[in-house]
Structure 1
Amino acid sequence: MTPADLGTLIKNTAEAVLNEQGLDTSVLPDTVVVERPRNPEHGDYATNLALQIAKKVGKNPRELAELLVAQLRHNDAIAEAEIAGPGFVNLRLGAAAQGGIVAKVLAEGTAYGHNSDYAGKRVNLEFVSANPTGPVHLGGTRWAAVGDSLGRILQASGAQVTREYYFNDHGKQIDRFANSLVAAAKGEPTPEDGYAGEYINDIAAKVVEKQPDVLSMPPDVMQETFRAEGVEMMFAHIKETLHEFGTDFDVFFHENSLFESGAVDRAVAMLKENGNLYEKDGAWWLKATDFGDDKDRVVIKSDGDAAYIAGDIAYVVDKIERGHDLCIYMLGADHHGYIARLKASAAALGYDPNMVEVMIGQMVNLVRDGQAVRMSKRAGTVITLDDLVELIGIDAARYALIRSSVDSSLDIDMELWASQSNDNPVFYVQYGHARLSSIARKAAELGVLAEGADLSLLTHEREGDLVRTLGEFPEVVKSAADLREPHRIARYAEDLAGTFHRFYDNCQILPKAGETAEPIHAARLALAMATRQTLANALYLVGVSAPERM
C-alpha cells in the first residue's frame, strides 16, 4: 500500500465516520496527505486529517481522531493506529500491505511511478534556445539537462510533450557573429562587439573551404555568405552536442520564420482589432499594464520596425494555435522581466495567461580547488557544455545540473563529480543499481527466484524502511511534475540508494555458500529487484544511465 493508497483509505474511512455521525462530508479534501514521521517510533505514516476538518464539522480534533482510529483498526492493512498530540493519527501498516508495494513495483515495471494527472494535456516545453553564435554555455547546459528531465517527468504524468528549441536567427547578434567570421577569415582582429574563441576561427576556415572564393565576393555578398554558412555550421554543432548529451528536440523553431511568414503582422493585427494596442508618439504600444506587467511595451517602433517583443507575441500565438494547452519557457537568470511580459502578451491576445509559464534558471559555475573556472579552451570566454562533459562526463554533468533547484545558483566541483567515490552523488546512485544487478546475477546462479515470494515475511526494520521508500516514488514523480522540479527525482534516487545500502548491510539477501534458500531469501530478493526497478525508473527520469556493472 503506497502513501497515495493509504490516503485514499483514510479518506474513505473518514467519509464513513462523518456519515455515521451525520456530519458534512464535503469538508474532506480531494487528497488526504500522509507523511513519514520524523521519528520512526511514532509509526510508518501519519495524517493530520482530523485537525484539518474538525473545526469545519464542529468536533474536537482529538475526538474526531478517536472515531477515525477506531474504524481504521478494523482494516486488515493497518497493524496499529494511535492518536498523538491534539489529533494526529499515527499508523503502522500490516506486513501484507507493505509487501503489496513490492508486488506493485514488480508488476508495473518501467511504468512504476507513472500517473495520468496530465493525460490529454499538450505541453510545449521550450528550453536551451541558445543563440547560434557560439557553443552552448553552462547556463544553457543546465536547461539542457533540466528541460529534458522535466519533459520525461511530464510524459510519465500523461502529458504529450513537445520539446522545442527557439532558433534565434533574427537580430543584431547574428550580424556581429558574421562580422566576427569575416574578420577571422581575413586574419583581422575580432570586432569590438564581436565573438572570439577557437570556434570562430574553425567556422571561418570551414566557410572558406566550402566557398573558396568567398573573400573575393562583394562585401554584402561576402557578409551574407558568412552569415548563412556560419549560422548553419554553428547550429549543426549545437544540435550534435545536445544529442550527445542525451537531449533531443521535436521542433527547432526559427525566429526568422515569424517575420517571413507574416505571423508578426497577424499578431499585431489581432491586438489592434481587440483594442489592446494603441498608438503613441508614432509607435504602437501593448497595453501590458492592463494585464499585470510593470509597464506598457513598444511593439512597433516609430520607424515602423518591429520591436523584439513583437516576435515574442507572435510566438505565443503560434504555440497556442498549434494546439498546446501549456507553454513552458525555460529562460536564463537575466530574463525575470519576461514572466510578466509573456503572460501579459497572452492575456492581451485573449488567451488564459496561465497557459504561459516561465521558469528562470540561475547561474552555474565550474569550480576547481574552491575557485571558479571562467575560461573555455574553445569558446574563449565562458565554460561550455563540451568543456563540462570533457571534464566530468555526461552522466555526472546531467546529474550535477539536475539535483539542485534551478531557483538557486550552482557550483559544480570538478574533483567531486569526476571522482568514483560515495561522495559523488551520481556514482553513489549508479553503484546502488550496479550492486542490485549483481545480486540479480548471483540469484540466477543460485536458482533463487523472487516470483511467488511471501512478501509478508518482510518485517525487519530495514526492510520496512526500504519498502516505504519505494512506496513514496509515485508521489515524488507527481510533485516533480506539478512543481516543475526534476531535482526531487534525483534527491529521491539518492535517498533510495542510501536506504538500500543500509538494508544490504543489515539483511542477508541470498543464502551463503552451503546454505539452503529459505522463503525469506526469496522475499528479500523480490524487495531488492523492486528497488532496482525503481532506481532505474528514477535514473531514466533524470536522463542518467543505470549501469549493470561498475
Structure 2
Amino acid sequence: MQDYLKQQITEALQKMAPGLEIPEITIEKPRSPEHGDAATNIALVLAKTLKNSPAKIAEEIASHIETQSGFIKSVEVAGPGFINFRFSENWLSEQLMDAFRKKDQYGRSNVLQGKHIQVEFVSANPTGPLTVGHGRNAVLGDTVARVLEWAGAKVEREYYFNNAGRQMRVLAESVRARYLQEIGVDATFPEGGYEGAYITDIARQVREDHGDDLAGEEHLGVFKKAAEESIFEDIKRTLARMNISMDSFFNENTLYEDGSIDKVIDLLKQKGLIYESEGATWFKTTGFGKDKDTVLIKSSGEPTYRLPDIAYHINKLSRGFDLAIDIFGADHIATYPDVVSAVEACGFDSSKIDVIVYQFVTIVKDGKPFKMSTRKANFVTLDELMDEVGADVTRFFFLMRAPGTHLEFDINEAKEAGEKNPVFYLQYAHARIQSIMRKVRETYDFENAEPDFTLLRHESEISLIKRVLEFPEVIKSTAGHREPHKIINYLNELATAFHRFYHDCRILGEDEKLAKARTELLTVTATVLSNGLGILGINAPDRM
C-alpha cells in the first residue's frame, strides 16, 4: 500500500505543479487509529517550494487522490497539513488473501535482490569464551543478516580474528603457567595473564595429550595452538547454541602475509597522507576533520588496530560486496571513521561500508551488576547466561532495545514465567493460535475452497488484519535501517491485536463460512508470528 500511496501522491503533485522536483515521500502509520491507517507530511515539506500553506497544498493533493479504485476508503486533511488515509475493507480482504496464499513466504521481498552483502560480527580473538559483552554483537549481527536475506539479499556472515600478537602470546604464557603448575613446577603467572578457569582446563588437556615434557619455553607454540583450537571450538559451540552459524572466518594475519598491509601504506604515502614523526608512522586524519593525526604504526614497530582494519575493509570491497556491514561496540566510535576515511583515500567506495554501533550490556541479577573481563575469573559467559535463562530469551533480550541504547539485562526479569516475560508473550500467542486451530479442525470439516475474507468486518477482525498486513513493510524498513527491535515492537502489537480478536470473536459455534474465514485469519497470524520470531532467531512453539 505504501508504494501505491506514494504513486498516487506523486501523480497528484505532477498535475498540480508540472516539472516539480518531488522530494522523498514519507508514509507512516499514525500513532492513533483515529487518524486513519497511513499519513504523510509531504504538504508541510513542500510548503516553501510551492509558496502556499501546507493545509491548502494538502487539500489539493487530497482532491487528486483516486478513491474509486477500492483501495482507499477516504482521504482527510488534518492538523497543519497532514494527509490521512483510510484503507477500504475490500482492499484489506484482498491483501489478506494474498498473505494466505503466500503461506510461510509471506513477508519476503526482492527489494535487495541481486545485492551481495557481508555482515561481519562477533570477531572476538580466540583468547577466551564468548562473554555477555560479545552476545549483543552476535545476536544483532545474525539478526541483521536474517532480515537482509528476507529482503532478497545474498548475505555472507564473516568472523574476523587475530591469532597473532601480544594477546595470543599472553594467552599461551597463561596456559603454559597453569600447565607447569599441573606438573608440579613453580611458575610465575604472566602479568596481565588470563585467569579464567578455562585456562586450567586447556592446560590439563595439553598435559593429557602431550604428557609432562613441555616445560621448556621452546614449546610455547604448542600451548598457543592448543588454546586457540580449544577456544575456537568453544566459541563455535556457543554460537551454534544461539542458532548462529558463520559462513567464513578471516584471519588478520593473512593481510600481512599477502602484502595487503604494505599496499595500504604505499597507497596512503602516494596520497601524501602518511608521515613519520617520533619514530612512529602517522595518518593525517586532520585532513578529514579530526583534531589530531592518528598513529598507524607505533615507534615499537607494532601496528595499531586501524592499519589492519583499513586493509581488511579494502579486502572486503575487493571481494565484490555491494555492502559491507560492521557490527561494532561503542568503543569503536572514535576509530572506525579513520578506517572509512583511509578506504576512501585509497580509491575505494567507502559508501559501501555501513557501521552499526551498539551500546554495551550490563548484566543485573538480584539488583547487583556482574562485571565482565576475559582476563579475570569473574566474567559472565554467554553459555552461563543461556544456562540461566535459555537461548531464546537471551536472543530476545539482546534485541529488545535499539542498538544505540544501553541495555540492562535483568536476569530475574528474563526468568519470569508466563506472559509477563516478553518473549513468552509472543510464543504463547503462537501456541494459543495452534491450540485454537486444533480444536476448530476437530469440530469443522472445512472444504478446500479458499476462505471468504469479506465476511470479516468486526472491529477486532479489521484491527488484526491491519496488523498482519504491516509485516512486509516492517521487514523492508528493518532491512533498510538495520534495527531489529522494530520487529519485536511490531510482533507485540500483532499479539495484542490477536488477544483482542480472541476475546471478541469466537469461532466454535459460528456459521461454517465465517468460522473458516476466522480460522484462516488465525492461520496467517500464526504464520507472521512464526516468520517474525524466525527472523529474530527464536522458536515459535505449537505447544507451551
Question: Same fold by TM-score, threshold 0.5 exceeded?
Answer: yes
Deviation at 1:338, TM superposition (A): 1.8
1:197 — aligned with what? 196
Are the counterparts in 2 of residues 362 and 410 from structure 1 also a CA contact under 8 Å?
A: yes
1:10 — aligned with what? 5
Please give the alpha-carbon distance, in whole angstroms, between the structure 2 residues aligned to 1:8 and 1:318.
37
Are the counterparts in 2 of residues 333 and 363 from structure 1 also a CA contact under 8 Å?
A: yes
Are the counterparts in 2 of residues 293 and 340 from structure 1 also a CA contact under 8 Å?
A: no
Trace 1:464-483 onto structure 2 (pairs within 5 A).
464-483=462-481
Please give the alpha-carbon distance, in whole angstroms, between the structure 2 residues aligned to 1:331 and 1:82.
44
| Letter in structure 1 aligned against 2:486 | R
Trace 1:145-160 onto structure 2 (pairs within 5 A).
145-160=139-154
Q: Among 306, 312, 316, which residue is 1:315 paired with?
A: 312
Pick closer, same or farther for the CA change 1:377–1:443 going to 2, 3 Å: farther
Superposed CA deviations along residues 239-293 of structure 1, whole A, max 9, x for unmatched, are 1111121111111111122222322122222223343323334443222222344
Q: Among 384, 388, 409, which residue is 2:385 paired with?
A: 388
Q: Among 422, 425, 428, which residue is 1:425 paired with?
A: 422
1:339 paired with 2:332, answer no
Q: Among 88, 92, 97, which residue is 1:98 paired with?
A: 92
Deviation at 1:10, TM superposition (A): 3.2
Are the counterparts in 2 of residues 105 and 533 from structure 1 also a CA contact under 8 Å?
A: no
1:250 paired with 2:244, answer no
Deviation at 1:404, TM superposition (A): 1.0
| Letter in structure 1 aligned against 2:366 | D
SS in 2 for 1:180: helix
Are the counterparts in 2 of residues 180 and 195 from structure 1 also a CA contact under 8 Å?
A: yes
Trace 1:263-282 onto structure 2 (pairs within 5 A).
263-282=260-279
1:493 paired with 2:491, answer yes
Superposed CA deviations along residues 150-196 of structure 1, whole A, max 9, x for unmatched, are 00011112222221111221221111111111111122464331011
1:134 paired with 2:128, answer yes
Deviation at 1:91, TM superposition (A): 2.9
Superposed CA deviations along residues 357-386 of structure 1, whole A, max 9, x for unmatched, are 322222212222222234799972211101
1:284 paired with 2:281, answer yes
Are the counterparts in 2 of residues 146 and 486 from structure 1 also a CA contact under 8 Å?
A: yes
Deviation at 1:434, TM superposition (A): 0.9
SS in 2 for 1:272: helix
User: Structure 1 residue runs of 4+, over 6 Å off?
Assistant: 375-379
Please give the alpha-carbon distance, in whole angstroms, between the structure 2 residues aligned to 1:82 and 1:301.
65
Are the counterparts in 2 of residues 346 and 353 from structure 1 also a CA contact under 8 Å?
A: yes
| Letter in structure 2 aligned against 1:197 | G
Please give the alpha-carbon distance, in whole angstroms, between the structure 2 residues aligned to 1:433 and 1:34.
27
Pick closer, same or farther for the CA change 1:229–1:34 going to 2, 3 Å: closer
Q: Among 63, 66, 70, which residue is 1:76 paired with?
A: 70
Please give the alpha-carbon distance, in whole angstroms, between the structure 2 residues aligned to 1:11 and 1:308.
46
Are the counterparts in 1 of residues 119 and 324 from structure 2 also a CA contact under 8 Å?
A: yes
Over aligned residues, Cα RMSD in angstroms?
A: 2.4
1:448 paired with 2:442, answer no
Deviation at 1:20, TM superposition (A): 4.6
SS in 2 for 1:437: helix
SS in 1 for 2:325: strand
Please give the alpha-carbon distance, in whole angstroms, between the structure 1 residues aligned to 2:153 and 2:325.
13
1:519 — aligned with what? 513
Please give the alpha-carbon distance, in whole angstroms, between the structure 1 residues aligned to 2:60 and 2:333.
50
Moved more, 390-399 or 265-274: 265-274
1:349 — aligned with what? 346
Pick closer, same or farther for the CA change 1:418–1:277 going to 2, 3 Å: same
Trace 1:158-237 onto structure 2 (pairs within 5 A).
158-187=152-181, 188=187, 190-216=189-215, 218-219=216-217, 221-237=218-234
Q: TM-score, normalised by structure 2?
A: 0.92
Residue ranges of structure 2 left out of the alignment (5+ in a row): 182-186
Q: TM-score, normalised by structure 1?
A: 0.91
Moved more, 312-321 or 183-192: 183-192
Please give the alpha-carbon distance, in whole angstroms, between the structure 2 residues aligned to 1:9 and 1:306.
54
Pick closer, same or farther for the CA change 1:281–1:31 going to 2, 3 Å: same
| Letter in structure 1 aligned against 2:145 | G
Please give the alpha-carbon distance, in whole angstroms, between the structure 1 residues aligned to 2:134 and 2:147.
20
Please give the alpha-carbon distance, in whole angstroms, between the structure 2 residues aligned to 1:145 and 1:451.
42
Deviation at 1:69, TM superposition (A): 3.6
SS in 1 for 2:450: coil
Please give the alpha-carbon distance, in whole angstroms, between the structure 2 residues aligned to 1:18 and 1:374.
58
Please give the alpha-carbon distance, in whole angstroms, between the structure 2 residues aligned to 1:228 and 1:506.
64
Deviation at 1:19, TM superposition (A): 4.9
| Letter in structure 2 aligned against 1:536 | S
1:402 paired with 2:399, answer yes
Are the counterparts in 1 of residues 322 and 352 from structure 2 also a CA contact under 8 Å?
A: yes
1:457 — aligned with what? 455
Please give the alpha-carbon distance, in whole angstroms, between the structure 1 residues aligned to 2:492 and 2:166.
45
| Letter in structure 2 aligned against 1:486 | P
Please give the alpha-carbon distance, in whole angstroms, between the structure 1 residues aligned to 2:331 and 2:100.
45
Please give the alpha-carbon distance, in whole angstroms, between the structure 1 residues aligned to 2:23 and 2:490.
26
1:56 paired with 2:49, answer yes
